[in-house]
Amino acid sequence: MEELLEKLKKKKIKFEIREREEGVKKKEKRRTILVHTPRKILRDTVKMLIETSEDFPHFSVCSFTDCGDHVELNYHFSVGYGKPLKETNIILRVTLKKDDLKVPTLTDLIPATILSEREIKEMTGIEIENIPDGRHMFLTKDFPDGVYPWRRDETAPKETRKLYEVWK
Amino acid sequence: MKYEIPIGPIHPALKEPILLQLTVEGEEIKDVDVIASQNHRGIEWIGMNRNNPVQSIYIAERICGICNISHPSAMMLAVEEAANIEVPERAQYIRVIQCELERIHSHLLWAGVAAHEIGFDSLLHYTWKVREKVMDILELINGNRVTKAIMMYGGVRRDIKKEHIPKIKKMLEYYKEGFDKLAKFFLEDKTVEMRTRNVGILTKEDALKLSAIGPTARASGVKKDVRQDQPYFAYPDFDVKAITPDMFTGEVVGDTYDRIVVRLLEVKQSVEIIERALDEMPSGDILSEPKLAKLLMDLKKAEGEGVGRHEAPRGEVIHYVKLKKDFEPFFSWKVRAPTYSNIMSWIPMLKGCQIADVPIVAASIDPCISCTNRVIRIKGDGKKEIIDGDELHRLSVKKTKRLLEGGS
């Protein structure tokens, strides 16, 4: 873990460490490191993560926030698992401008990212460069183009009805 | 000659809608494609646009009926981190007890399903009879067997009363006494061993690269358990250790049999955790903010983000929540259920297996997607033939009989 932080500092990549205390009799700290990763060094940062972790970084999921003029894309990883109390959450946050929604694929580095990349593509409209499989993941094949359920702008679904209204 | 066989989108072995597109040569599976886009309920959208944060707890409970404590648990951790809410000590213990009760019932439910998939229905009925004990306790302390509505930001909604404790202890005794019998049925039975040993192998390397989690990863030798690696609630007090099959059999194969071993041992582990939690549970409040209107106001004023990770019976469930000031629903909410990470493991597991192994191998990751009752087999001449759930089950039973008679 320390090795990764050293490398991040060396490359002048900004990060924040967050801790929250858990437990009743024994207090333990749940640690999260939020790394502000510019898009152009996303792949290098993931490579760094692979090099410095003992087993292999565990990829959980991608989350997304629409903040108006820009969007936040978070890659949730965890490293140091397998040993009691040694696990740390790592969030790689990529901030993208609304008129330039593109990120490179990570599937060749971490195969498990494919499902999340497919989900991000269909739910948010972010283009994943060189994605090996660009099919829909959760939305049906006939879901309209240009409608992105996780967005909060004009591309968000407009006509949403409650279940009982569907039958009318 | 290669054939394509779709299993799904609705199938008894897979629960919930998902499609497995198999490429087979004779009986052997050569390639697998998983197609998930069969049914999307838009739960995250509802949490981000329509519900207030308290309403979202109860929709999170409905993401999965079996994991109805796990999803709210991960959500509590995320929101409590985002809004900086403290939780009373007693509530942390009650949460641990609820989570472990859920693990017992979920693993026993799975064990029954696994027995059914290989045509061992008497074992299914026995396992589900055993499971009824924990269901009775869930009903006793929550008032409901399935969706329990017990979680709340800053604690739990109902206490475990003094009069409940002897009944819970009686249940724990029942499981302790019955464990050896259950382990004998599952782990020493010739039929179970024949159908599960060396079937659906997931290597440690694949488990790591595909980010497999929960019993699926642990059965392949990855000692990964959120309760051990990054404990939350009152778990730091219990020193939970991740369970791998070598603790019982002395080796890690990573097959379906090992996944049965891990789940059975975890039932035993859960019984021990509940027993300790009942003895050591501190007294005091169960909720840090009992006034709901004030809690909602506080959440509306809060700004921040949080990640909650909880070890559900099927593996790590993770919720990401972002709160924005003066915006009532979650500004951002991402739910990752365990099967999302585990379905990728189906591909290496199923390659090289037979069609009759699909139900048990698919069920071995304990998928949380839903039920098929028909398969369409497309013959070489393009004609379609429908195999229903009964037929597929019959094929599986036939294989067990064939193996018993010394065939393959």
Answer yes or no: do A22 and B209 touch at CB < 8 A. Answer: no
Answer yes or no: do A65 and B332 touch at CB < 8 A. Answer: yes
Measured in degrees and rounded to the nearest 5, phi and psi for residue B100 equal -75, -35
Q: How far apart are CA A119 and CA A138, in angstroms?
A: 7
Answer yes or no: do A61 and B232 touch at CB < 8 A. Answer: no
Cis peptide upstream of residue B9 (ω within 30 degrees of 0)? yes
**Amino acid in the structure at residue A61:** V
- Name the 3-class secondary structure at B201: coil
Query: Which two three-digit tokens encode residue A56?
Result: 């292999």
**Residue A85: CB atoms within 10 Å:** 16
Nearest CA in chain A to B322: A65
Residues of A in contact with B340 (CB under 8 A): 61, 115
Answer yes or no: do B211 and A20 touch at CB < 8 A. Answer: no
Q: pLDDT tens digits, residue range B13-59?
A: 666 677 888 898 888 888 888 887 667 778 888 888 888 999 999 99
Closest partner CB to A140 (pick from B37, B211, B280): B37
Q: Which fold has domain A2-136?
A: Beta Polymerase; domain 2 (3.30.460)
Residues of A in contact with B307 (CB under 8 A): 32, 76, 89, 91
pLDDT level of residue B372 (50, 70, 90 thresholds): very low
pLDDT at A73: 95
Q: Identify the H or E element spanning B240.
A: none
pLDDT at B17: 76
Residues of B in contact with A114 (CB under 8 A): 344
Answer yes or no: do A81 and B229 touch at CB < 8 A. Answer: yes
Residues of A in contact with B283 (CB under 8 A): none
Measured in degrees and rounded to the nearest 5, phi and psi for residue B24 equal -120, 150
Range with lowest mean pLDDT among A20-34, B124-138, B327-341, B388-402 = B388-402
**Residue B339: CB atoms within 10 Å:** 25
Closest partner CB to A141 (pick from B37, B44, B209): B37
What ipTM goes with this model? 0.93
Answer yes or no: do A61 and B237 touch at CB < 8 A. Answer: no
Question: What is the distance in angstroms between the Cα of A159 and the nearest Cα belonging to chain B?
Answer: 13
Look up the pTM and report it.
0.88
Answer yes or no: do B331 and A65 touch at CB < 8 A. Answer: yes
Question: What is the distance in angstroms between the Cα of A7 and the nearest Cα belonging to chain B?
Answer: 23
Residue of A1, A62, A63 to mutate for B, most B C-beta atoms under 10 A: A63
Q: pLDDT tens digits, residue range B77-127?
A: 999 999 999 999 999 999 999 999 999 999 999 999 889 888 899 999 999
Query: Which positions 216-235 of B are in contact with A (Cβ < 8 Å)?
Result: 222-224, 226, 228-235
- Name the 3-class secondary structure at A156: coil
pLDDT at B401 exceeding the cut of 70: yes
DSSP structure class, residue B236: G
pLDDT at A3 exceeding the cut of 90: no
B276 and A CB contact within 8 Å: no
Query: In whole angstroms, what separates CA B395 from the centre of its chain?
Result: 27
Residue B198, phi-psi category: left (phi > 0), alpha (psi -120 to 50), beta (remainder): left
pLDDT at B40: 76
Which segment, B112-116, B207-211, B245-249, B269-273, is predicted with the most confidence on average? B269-273
Answer yes or no: do B336 and A114 touch at CB < 8 A. Answer: no
pLDDT at B300 exceeding the cut of 60: yes
Residue of B95, B244, B307, B316 to mutate for A, most A C-beta atoms under 10 A: B307
